């Protein structure tokens, strides 16, 4: 890694809030998120959205994100190892497999059906030179390069209809997952669940909506207090601007590489 990158570090703000429909019905937020900075300017993060039809979807989502991050964090990852495409793909696939197995084990332990713990899952590994993402189901991962270009690394998996998707508990979840490696000089990453994707994306063309992402990227890059920034993120997700357009649970992780 060159010396110009050694002083860089990730700033991250993340939040999950219940949608207005869940608040009205006195239901818990079914989304979950988790993230972890690793040595050598590597960042791993994950989001999951428990299926609305899954009685224990929240549990499945929490287990999925925590297991995925733990699986990757245990391995000695460096920017050098991330230069190998095969290594990166293996890290992501193994993390998905571990998350799926953990959810299935929890279902057995709790005497539930595996679909009762169904959720989507997005896992991202990032360094200053790469963002690599594995995704099962809907939601999206977006990155901005140092030249200000926004890219949707993944795309929501809707299936045949807008409200359909693939879940981690599906038999073919790993085989059909999106695994994408984006090699650019990275400035920002944004990952979100499907409650926000209609606001954050031009779904017809699959491109990120700049007025949504750019202010958030700047906000995180310039934050001074993470606790205050998270409070502001939660306030944003609960704002009328957002809730007028979606009543679903909302999860958003924004990361900025700061020098």
Q: Is the pLDDT of residue 89 over 50?
A: yes
Average pLDDT of the chain, as a whole number: 92
Residue 1 has pLDDT above 80, yes or no: no
Please give the residue range of the domain that contains residue 122: 8-258
List the CATH number of the domain containing 134: 3.60.40.10
Burial class of residue 67 in the structure, from the number of CB atoms within 10 Å of its CB (0-12 exposed, 13-18 middle, 19+ buried): buried
Q: Look at residue 31 and tell me if it is in a domain.
A: yes
Q: Is residue 2 part of a domain?
A: no
CA contacts within 13 A on the Cβ side of 218: 7
Expressed in percent and rounded to 5, the helix, strand and coil fractions of the chain are: 35, 30, 35
Distances (CA, A) of 171 to 167, 177, 195: 9, 11, 25
Q: Is residue 23 part of a domain?
A: yes
How far is 70 from 90, CA to CA, in rounded Å? 15
Would you state the pLDDT for residue 164? 66
User: Is 146 a member of any domain?
Assistant: yes
How many domains, the chain? 1
pLDDT of 4: 41
201 membership: H or E segment, kind and range: strand 201-202
pLDDT reported for residue 6: 54
Q: Is residue 216 part of a domain?
A: yes
What is the DSSP track for 157-188? --TTSTT----TTSTTHHHH-EEEEE-S-EEE
- What is d(CA 5, CA 258) in angstroms, rounded to the nearest whole number? 10
Tell whether the torsion through CA atoms of 176, 69, 138 and 143 is positive or negative: negative
In a domain, 1, yes or no: no
Is a pLDDT exceeding 90 seen at residue 188?
Answer: yes
Stronger pLDDT, 211 or 5, i.e. the higher one: 211
Q: Compute the distance between CA of residue 188 and CA of residue 95 in angstroms, rounded to an integer.
A: 23
Q: What percent of the chain has pLDDT over 70?
A: 95
Helix ranges, the chain (H): 3-6, 20-24, 57-73, 85-109, 173-176, 194-200, 210-221, 226-237, 240-243
pLDDT of amino acid 163:
56
The pTM is what? 0.94
- 154-168 pLDDT, tens digit each: 988 765 545 568 999
Residue 128 domain-assigned? yes
Q: How far is 204 from 161, CA to CA, in rounded Å?
A: 14
Is residue 99 situated within a structural domain? yes
Q: Is the four-CA dihedral 99, 104, 109, 113 of positive or negative sign?
A: positive
């Amino acid at each position: 890694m060159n010396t110009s990158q050694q002083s860089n570090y990730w700033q991250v703000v993340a939040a999950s809030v219940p949608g207005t429909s869940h608040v009205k019905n006195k239901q818990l937020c079914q989304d979950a998120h988790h993230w972890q900075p690793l040595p050598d300017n590597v960042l791993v993060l994950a989001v999951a959205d428990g299926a609305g039809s899954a009685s224990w979807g929240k549990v499945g989502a929490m287990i999925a994100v925590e297991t995925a991050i733990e699986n990757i964090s245990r391995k000695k990852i460096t920017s050098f190892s991330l230069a190998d495409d095969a290594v990166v793909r293996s890290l992501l696939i193994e993390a998905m497999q571990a998350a799926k197995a953990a959810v299935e084990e929890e279902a057995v332990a709790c005497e539930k059906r595996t679909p009762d713990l169904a959720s989507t899952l997005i896992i991202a590994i990032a360094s200053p030179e790469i963002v690599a993402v594995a995704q099962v189901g809907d939601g999206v991962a977006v990155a901005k390069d140092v030249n200000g270009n926004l890219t949707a690394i993944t795309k929501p998996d809707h299936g045949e209809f807008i409200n359909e998707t693939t879940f981690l508990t599906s038999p073919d979840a790993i085989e059909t997952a999106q695994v994408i490696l984006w090699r650019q000089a990275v400035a920002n990453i944004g990952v979100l669940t499907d409650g926000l994707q209609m606001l954050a994306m031009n779904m017809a063309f699959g491109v990120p909506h700049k007025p949504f992402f750019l202010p958030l990227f700047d906000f995180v890059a310039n934050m001074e207090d993470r606790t205050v920034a998270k409070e502001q993120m939660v306030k944003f997700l609960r704002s009328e601007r957002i809730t007028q357009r979606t009543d679903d649970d909302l999860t958003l992780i924004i990361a900025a590489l700061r020098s």
